[in-house]
Structure formats: structure tokens, C-alpha cells
Structure 1
Amino acid sequence: MSQTTAAATWTNWGGTARCTPTELITPQSVDELADAIRRAAENGQVVKPVGAGHSFTEIAVAPGVQVKMSGIRGLISVDADRKRVTLAAGTHLHEIPAILEPLGLGMTNLGDIDKQTISGATSTGTHGTGGGFGGIATQIRGVKLVDGTGTVRTIGEDDPDLKAAALGLGSLGVLTEITLQCVDAFSIRAEEGPGEVDETFSTFLERVENVDHYEFYWFPHTTKTLVKTNTRLPRNTPSDGPSDLRRYIDDELLSNKLLGALCKVGARSPRFVPSINQIVGRALSSRTYTDRSDKIFISDRDVRFREMEYAVPLEAVPDVLREVRAMIDSRGHKVSFPIEVRAAAPDDLMMSTASGRASGYIAVHRFSGDDVASSEAYFKDVEDIMTAHAGRPHWGKMHTRDADYFRSVYPRFDDFLEVRDRFDPQRVFTNPYLTQVLGS
């Protein structure tokens, strides 16, 4: 039976969005979900599902009925011959490796956080890095969803509507099933080490072309970068590298506990941020290790922050980074968090940030304890640079763009709106964020 409770105030992980729904439901089946959506449509209510709350935008804010998908999760079916699995939409990314490992399968690519649900991650355009690999939504070969009339729709890989539904921003319906194209399980050799900012910027395009999964972090106010190169290896490659204790020290104590402490110092006394970053930059060291792919892709992120990320044409990345660097210096921003730079292959999904073009991703962060006005000023200055290069913001990360802007940078924007009109003519799934980015 579907569970209906009085709704408490909901807040996302980053503390940048909150709402108090009129009602919270936790359906245990697709039929219960469809019934709830039909009732909401008849009563003129809006419905929004919520996953793990890892979007920084208000894309999951529920002005009416909030749907918690924890009752619709897990493995539904396996197509071993085609290396495909169908998962219930409420399944969290961190639950998937245990499902796939006994099947000898893995996900083609992942981002660095696995707390999201598979439906939330794909609907907002979550991606990893790698010039030959698309975002997680490009792995979708079919979906099932409940549309704005309460009708259950099955959309297969030959249905042109899948180009909208695989990355639909939650505006077309509530996803209930997702079929993923997997690959044979594989291992990764990870190589991390310090770099110099000018060389790292200049060689970015070359490294993206020649490395399976390449990314780097630049520490503002320094000339230091942390360069990360991931190489795909056969599944049976033995794990090696630093001990569990060393990795705990590096990944938990240094990357989370120490970073959090330093960010708190910088938030209280911003003038110390450049000196702190200099110390951190000088402390960077090299390490190489090999493990199962998901264990390499995923990192723990305990320090709370706010994030803006834009996708720009891949070839523009070095120049954009130089502009951001010059802007930070000239505007006097004090930025404690490193800037993360990744890449993705072009795809053909209507609303993907990499739709129709190879893309570079530049993510900027501010510690959650930083002064809000200072953080917003920094994000605005970054956004001005990104939009000058026809940048597309990540749908789940902070930005100020609207439907007119998106029509100018997404060639199939109006095609997507046509699908939305068919799937949700009454706008049962709208909220203020979707009105901003898609129009009424």
C-alpha cells in the first residue's frame, strides 16, 4: 500500500533548495503511483518526485505532492545477451555495483558521487569524464514512466521520444523503470599527481584525446593542479596501490576532514584563503592504484558546498579557464574550493549538455559556510564568462538562465517542448524551476 504522510519541510543536500509539500507519498508500485498522479491531475495539484536531493537547483522542489521513490527500487530484469539491465527508478547509484557484479557487468561511465537515484542522476544530466564517453543518460535504452494523465508509457530504444525522456528534467512524467546498456565489468588504473596550471590548461585537449578518463582540479590563487588519469583495464586485473589505511588517510582525513576544517577557517577569515590554498597545493603528492571501475570513479564528498557547472565546447576549455583565472584575480574573489575540469563525448539527447557537441565541463564551488553574497558574486562572474562561450549549465547545479537562453544554445529545445506538451499537457509536473528553464 502507498504510504501517505503529512509532509515536513524538505531540504536538499547543499542547503540551496527547500519546500514544504502539501502531501508526501511513498508508492510501493507503479499502479499506486499512477493512481496518485491521476488524483492530483483531477484536483489541479502538481506532483514532483524526489531522489537523494543532490541537485543544487530547485529542480526537485515540490509545491504540491512530493513523491518519495524509495518503494520502487531494485533490479527488475536482465537481458544477458545484450548486456542490459532494467532497474526500478528509485534505485540509488551506490546500489547498482552489487546488482551488476554477479552478472559480470559494469556501467560504462559514472560521475564521482553515487548517492543519487538512477532516475535523478539521468534526469539532470549527471556525467563523468572521458572524451569517448557520454553522460549516464546516454546509457539508457528504454524507460517506463507515468505521464501527466496518469497513463503508464513504455518508451523503447526505437521510439524518437526516448531522446527526450532519457534526460527529461522531471518535466515529462515520473520515471518508474530504466533500462541501461551495460558493458563487461572492467578495472581502472588511476594515476594522480601534481601539475602546473599553465601546462595543465595547455595540454587539456591533448590529454582528453589520448586518455580514457581525464580530469583535473585547479586550486585558485595557486599555480598548482591535481591531475587524474584513469585507464580502463580487463576485469581480472589485480587490485593494487596504497593500503586501505593510506587511502582512508588520503580520501577521508585529507580530502574531507582537513578540507572541511580549512574551508571553515577560510569562511571566517577570507583573507587567509590564498595562503591556505598555497599550502594545500604544495602538499599534493602522486599515487597510483588499481581497482574495480566503480571504486575508482566514485569519491566520498562529506564537505557541504554549493556548485555551478557549465558545459562549453571542448575546444574552448583552455581559453575559458584562463578567463576564469584572470577574473578571480581582478575581482578579488577568495575561493577555497578547487575548480574541477572534465570532458564528455557529444550525444543526441535533446536536453543533454553535450547534445551535438564534444563538451568540456568546468565546475566551480563555494563552501556552504562562505558568505552568501560573496558566493553569489563569484558565481555570477563565472556565469558571465560561460554564457559568452554558449555554455550550457548542468540542470542540477546553480545557474540563472531561462527558457529564452536555452532556446539559443539547444538546437532541439522546441522539439523537447513539443514532447512535454504531449506528455504533460496540464503541467502536473511543473514547479517554479521548470517554468524558469522551459517556460510555462
Structure 2
Amino acid sequence: MQRPGHPVIPQRYIIATLFIAAMLLLFAVVQAPRPVSEGGVTSAGAPAVMSLGGFESLAEFRLEDGWAPRFQGTRDPDQPEAWPYEGGFGTPWEPASPYLADQGLALNGPGGRSEIVLWRGLEWRHYRFDAPICSARLDPAKGNRLLVTLQMGSARFETRLLEVPEGRVIWSAQSGPWSRFSWDGKAALIGFFEPAEARAEPRFLLSALPCEVEPGEPTLASWDEADLPAPPKGLATKAEALSEDGQDLPGSRVEIPWHGGDGIWMPRADRLWHGGAQGWTAWGLEGGRWRRLAVGSGLLTAQPPQRMALVAPLPDEGMARKTSPLTRVEWTEVAADALPWPAWDAAWAWRENGAGRGAFDAWDQRWNESALPPERQRQALLDSYRPEWRSATGLRASVKGWLPKGPEIALREPYGAAWVWVGDRVLLVRLVEVERVRILRKLLR
């Protein structure tokens, strides 16, 4: 019975009101991660990682006990110190890292066994070897070539170029305990020290081999350029002067003198730079044979991926700084009042910015660089996956030996991904798409 003065609210109005309230709540949840300036309900200054609430896991690989993303312990000939296991950006001018771009891992296990695992087509593909892995890289251009160096004995090494994902061996050659791609990914550089008499200076035999086809007839640089100095005494300029191993080495070969602190850079398949305390040499590949383009005095380094850099003595006194394009020898002097360059390290990447030139690395060291946003995701990943690392230490005693301080984080910012080793497994996670990641993807890829 209806009481006077108390009208009844129709049921359809109640239902409509509840429906509108539910839609407003759903809209607020959807808009929440966006800042107010873009129509959301969070502050614009909130860290992206906190706004998104975590990292998306793309893949997971469970490790058997005794297996780890660790190389055999060798290093490149021009690498003075051990490279951090997690590596830097994953660029071709850096020393090799067991974490291969955003695609795979190089793993060594007990009994001299090893394998590369690549995440392809939402599954792990395995490339197994009966020897420890010293170095492994994916080509930087297409990611369809895998360069692996194996330790075949106490002082014997072999480098293989494999086709991915098929696993076909394109070529295999004896080498030193390292290998690297040219920066354009079109050739691979290998080499080893030739036997020398006790008092003779070390001789380093290098060879460039193509990545798309099998090597043709081997050649050897003759050092016979008419307008350049004769080769240092004792260097091989004919194949007959090489050791048996040197004569068996395929590809376009060049033997160079080698001293502590020397460096080699291969920015393109047909360009090679060698520098050290004894001076520098620029090489060009012409008709399948290395020939010298220019030589000079001074300390040569690189400023990848932009240019080569030189500190050379002036005729009277003092030093001058110069830069040259990567593919031709054209030196341009740097202003005397320009900032001093940082000491050479393969971790640095360079770019042109509003203040001229700047440099930075994956650990956020900087030189004349303020426009690049700071790196914040490494620590966020450490904090996020530390509980899983603690769980793994309770399951396996070996985890404390491998990872005594916490999970291992290998950022691959140019690929928008990171590898996280918590102990018993390795995860591939997607980085938050912040401005820094977008800049590095454009610059370094």
C-alpha cells in the first residue's frame, strides 16, 4: 500500500543509475595509467614502471643445474679487462655477451657441453655443441646469422657461422678465442697470433669472411702500396710465409704487428682500422684483398656508431684531436677548447646532440650528454625479481655461487627487452616503452 507523500522510484531508473555508475568505474580503471594531461587520473610525473605495475614476461627458460649463461672465460685481443657478464647495449662494437639481443642465450654446462637457445616462433630452438662456448653473437642487421667460437682443446679454437633458424653451418674455420661481426653485419672477423721467434714482435693474422656466402679463394694483404711505407720486418706478405694454420685460414687475410693496448675496428665489411702506440692504419677491401688506404701517427680510437677519433702530435709541441668518417680517411680537426674526450671504452655510444656531440653507456655514464633521459629500469627489475632470486637460492646451493648479490639483469634497451637470471631460470621481459628506450632503438639499431 502506497503511503501518502512518499512516491515510489520506478525500478527502471534505479537500474539505469547503477549501469551509469558501473560504466564510470570501468572508465576510471581503463584511464588510470594515463596522466591527467592526457585524460587519465594519475599524475604526469609518476614513474612509468610504477604506473604500469610491473614488467611483462615474454619467455622463460629453466636451467638445469650446472648450466649458466657464462662464456669459457676468454676475451677479445683488444679487450683489456673482463667484460661484465650482462654486457652493454648489445652493439656489434662491444665485446660479446652471453645474452644475445632479445632472442637468445649462450649457455655452458658440465662435461664441456654447451648450447645456444633462441626464442623463435613462441618456442625455444636449441643449437648444441660438444665444446665450451668462448664467444657468441647474432648478426646486428637481420638476426639470421649466429657466430659461435668454441674451445676445441687447450689452445685450439674454432669459429662457426650458422644460419638461423635452420642451424646450417655456412662456414667453419680455426680461430683465436673470439670472433666479431662488422658493424653492418655483412662480414665476420676472426684471427689468431702467428708463431714468432722469441725476440720478434707479435704478429696477428686477421681474416674477414662473408656472412651470406661461403668464402672464396683466400687472399693475403701484400703491403705493397706504392705511396706508403714498407711493412714492418718479419710480417708475412705472401701465403707461403704463414704457418700451416695460417695457410689454412680462409677469407681475406692481413697480418699486422700487435702490441699491448692496440685496437681493431670493423665498421663495414670492406673497412678495417688498426691503431695503437705505434700509429694507425686504415684498410680497405678491394677485389677481395686488403689494401692500405692510409697510415699515420697518433692514438686511434673509435666513437661508434659515428666516426673514428685520433689524438696526434703537433709539428712543434702539444697534441691535436681529429675525427674522420668510418668509411674513408678524411681527418677534421676538433677545436682546441672542446671538452676532453673520455678514455676509450667499447661500452660508449656516441651521437650528435644539441650541445654538439655526446656519449653514454648502458650503465648511464655520460659525457656531454644531458638530453637522453636517465636509465631507471635496471634497478626496478632488480627490485621486482629479487624475491624470485631468494626463492631460487633456497632451492639450489649453486645459485649463491653464480649470483651472490641478486638477480642478473641484462638490459637490451635498443630492443625494448631485458634478460633476468634469477638462478634456476632466465626470463625475457619487455621493458616499459619510455622515451629513453625509443631514442636508443632509433639510434643504435
Q: TM-score, normalised by structure 1?
A: 0.28
| Structure with higher RCO (Cα < 8 A, 6+ apart) | 1
Q: TM-score, normalised by structure 2?
A: 0.28
Structure in which a larger fraction of residues adopt helix:
1
Structure in which a larger fraction of residues adopt strand:
2
